[in-house]
């Protein structure tokens, strides 16, 4: 009997669209996004927040465009940032047209909410003319009245029907560059709705547990909901909705992907919770270390373990390992092997130096590999031409 490897996640096959230069769906990496909370008309503040999200690793950033002044501001914002911008359109179809013309890479808009078929056609034309994709955003808290009357309450069936109704309006206009979200603040409802939607269509899916809460509670709810779906192979882009600094949403999003082995960015710190056996202050060391390593984007793993019970075993599977030892002298591992000893007073500074050195080695090796591949391609092209 064949047994499926326990770490394998088989992603649902979806069609691929583009949000600006960023592919979403198909075999593209799962993207991480967030949304600004500044007034869009405050151009400087909005640009600053988008740039902070870019530094954190955001692939896509959404900006609210509730009025004409906001879509006018997009004209100034878009040229000043590198990440593709999604314009969040509420109900007015003109805002969708204006945002597409102002440089938005995607419109978050529900066709059924903006009026007549002619208005939908106008928005689709603006999107098509400006290489702009769309996101249909279904939310359990704002379902259409007729669906609530039909089903009695927000439920997976009502949410999926709403999504497919909106999708059909775009399909009727021969427009297929869109993704769909089906969010709810209830984890069970969100997971059930996305699971049913994944069965019903092949469009890329934008995952999220909406209005999840504060930094801690929202992280937990989002990790359970988004994590369950990703583990099942469902999802092409994610947004963690937190009542916190939007940069935290990006960090949590990448941590969710990192935990499932779906995407790696930066340092993955494996650390123990500490106990009476610890030979150094584990909690304080890890707290400072994570802040000091936040600038590193190269994927690598560091283990920080307080004693020799689990330390050597964890170090076997990490790029840089650190295990507490007796008499204030600890063991440092490189690539799983014991490398040298270290005294108490040098822990954080020394580990930062070791991780930075390891990251530089990895980057240099990747660059050399890319150069070799490029050279091979050039030789092959020259040989074919001769």
For the chain, percent of residues with pLDDT exceeding 70:
98
Cα distance between residue 80 and residue 18, in whole Å: 20
Pair 101, 93: CB distance under 8 Å:
no
Cα distance between residue 302 and residue 268, in whole Å: 6
Q: Across residues 193-197, what is the average pLDDT?
A: 98
Pair 158, 143: CB distance under 8 Å:
yes
CA angle 85–35–292, rounded 5-degree value: 105
Q: Is the pLDDT of residue 4 over 60?
A: no
Q: Across residues 175-180, what is the average pLDDT?
A: 98
What's the pLDDT at 98?
98
Secondary structure class of 107 (helix, strand, coil): strand
Query: How confident is the prediction for the chain on average, in pLDDT?
Result: 94
Is 275 marked as binding a ligand?
yes
Pair 269, 289: CB distance under 8 Å:
yes
Residue 232 vs residues 29, 202, 240: alpha-carbon distances, Å: 16, 15, 18
How many residues would you count in the chain? Answer: 386
What's the pLDDT at 174?
97
What's the pLDDT at 1?
45
CATH 3.20.20.20 placement within the chain: 16-259
Residues 6+ apart with CB under 8 A from 171: none
The pLDDT tens digits for 217-271 are 999 999 999 999 999 999 999 999 999 999 999 999 999 999 999 998 999 999 9
Residues 6+ apart with CB under 8 A from 36: 46, 49, 50, 53, 61, 62, 63, 64, 246
What's the pLDDT at 91?
85
Pair 179, 105: CB distance under 8 Å:
no
Query: Considering the entire predicted model, what is its pTM?
Result: 0.90
Q: Is the pLDDT of residue 190 over 90?
A: yes
Cα distance between residue 108 and residue 325, in whole Å: 54
- Phi first, then psi: give them for residue 110, nearest 5 degrees: -105, 115
Which residue carries 């593709």 as its tokens? 84
What's the pLDDT at 345?
80
- Phi first, then psi: give them for residue 175, nearest 5 degrees: -120, 125
Nearest to 207 by CA among 29, 61, 32, 18: 32
Q: Is the pLDDT of residue 385 over 90?
A: no
Fold entry, domain 16-259? TIM Barrel (3.20.20)
The pLDDT tens digits for 301-316 are 999 999 999 999 999 9
pLDDT class of 3 with cuts at 50, 70, 90 = low
CATH 3.30.413.10 placement within the chain: 267-363
Is 132 marked as binding a ligand?
no
Secondary structure class of 60 (helix, strand, coil): strand
Dihedral sign of CA atoms 212, 214, 220, 223 in order: positive
User: What are the helix (H) ranges across 201-245?
Assistant: 215-231
Is 314 marked as binding a ligand?
yes
Residue 18 vs residues 67, 166, 178, 202, 333: alpha-carbon distances, Å: 25, 19, 9, 15, 42
Q: Is the pLDDT of residue 6 over 80?
A: no
The pLDDT tens digits for 70-86 are 999 999 999 999 999 99
Pairing of strands 22-25, 205-207: unpaired
- Phi first, then psi: give them for residue 108, nearest 5 degrees: -95, 105
What's the pLDDT at 50?
98
Cα distance between residue 242 and residue 83, in whole Å: 21
The pLDDT tens digits for 273-297 are 999 999 999 999 999 999 999 999 9
Nearest to 12 by CA among 216, 207, 218, 288: 207
Nearest to 175 by CA among 111, 115, 116: 111
Strands (E), 122-275: 133-139, 178-183, 205-207, 237-239, 267-271
Is 65 marked as binding a ligand?
no
CATH superfamily of 267-363: Sulfite Reductase Hemoprotein, domain 1 (3.30.413.10)
Which residue carries 């769906």 as its tokens? 25
The pLDDT tens digits for 100-145 are 999 999 999 998 888 899 999 999 999 999 999 999 999 999 999 9
Q: Is the pLDDT of residue 343 over 50?
A: yes
Token representation of residue 283: 């909690």
pLDDT class of 327 with cuts at 50, 70, 90 = confident
Pair 87, 127: CB distance under 8 Å:
no
Q: H or E segment at 337?
A: strand 337-343
């Amino acid at each position: 009997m064949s047994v499926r490897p326990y770490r394998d996640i088989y992603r649902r096959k979806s069609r691929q669209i583009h949000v600006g230069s960023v592919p979403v769906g198909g075999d593209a990496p799962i993207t991480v996004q967030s949304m600004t909370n500044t007034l869009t008309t405050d151009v400087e503040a909005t640009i600053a927040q988008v740039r902070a999200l870019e530094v954190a690793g955001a692939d896509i950033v959404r900006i609210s465009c509730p009025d004409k002044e906001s879509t006018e501001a997009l004209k100034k914002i878009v040229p000043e940032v590198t990440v593709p911008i999604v314009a969040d359109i509420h109900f007015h179809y003109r805002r969708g047209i204006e945002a597409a013309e102002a440089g938005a890479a995607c419109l978050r808009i529900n066709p059924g909410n903006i009026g007549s078929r002619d208005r939908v056609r106008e928005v689709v034309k603006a999107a098509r003319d400006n290489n702009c994709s769309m996101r249909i955003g279904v939310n359990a808290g704002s379902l259409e009245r007729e669906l609530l009357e039909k089903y009695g309450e927000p439920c997976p069936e009502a949410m999926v029907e709403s999504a497919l109704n909106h999708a059909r309006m775009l399909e009727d206009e021969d427009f297929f560059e869109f993704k769909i979200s089906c969010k709810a603040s209830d984890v069970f409802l969100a997971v059930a709705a996305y699971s049913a939607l994944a069965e019903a269509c092949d469009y890329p899916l934008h995952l999220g547990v909406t209005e999840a809460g504060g930094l801690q509670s929202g992280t937990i709810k989002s990790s359970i909901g988004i994590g369950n779906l990703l583990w099942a192979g469902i999802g092409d882009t994610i947004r963690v909705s937190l009542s916190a600094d939007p940069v935290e949403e990006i960090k949590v999003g990448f941590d969710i992907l990192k935990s499932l082995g779906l995407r790696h960015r930066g340092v993955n710190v494996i650390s123990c919770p500490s106990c009476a056996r610890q030979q150094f202050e584990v909690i304080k060391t890890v707290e400072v270390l994570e802040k000091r390593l936040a600038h590193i984007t190269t994927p690598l793993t560091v283990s920080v373990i307080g004693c020799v019970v689990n330390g050597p075993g964890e170090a076997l599977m990490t790029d840089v390992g650190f295990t507490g030892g007796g008499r204030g002298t600890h063991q440092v591992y490189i690539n799983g092997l014991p490398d040298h000893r270290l005294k108490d007073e040098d822990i954080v500074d020394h580990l930062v130096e070791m991780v930075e050195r390891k990251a530089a080695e990895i980057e240099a090796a990747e660059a050399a590999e890319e150069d070799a591949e490029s050279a091979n391609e050039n030789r092959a092209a020259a040989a074919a031409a001769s």
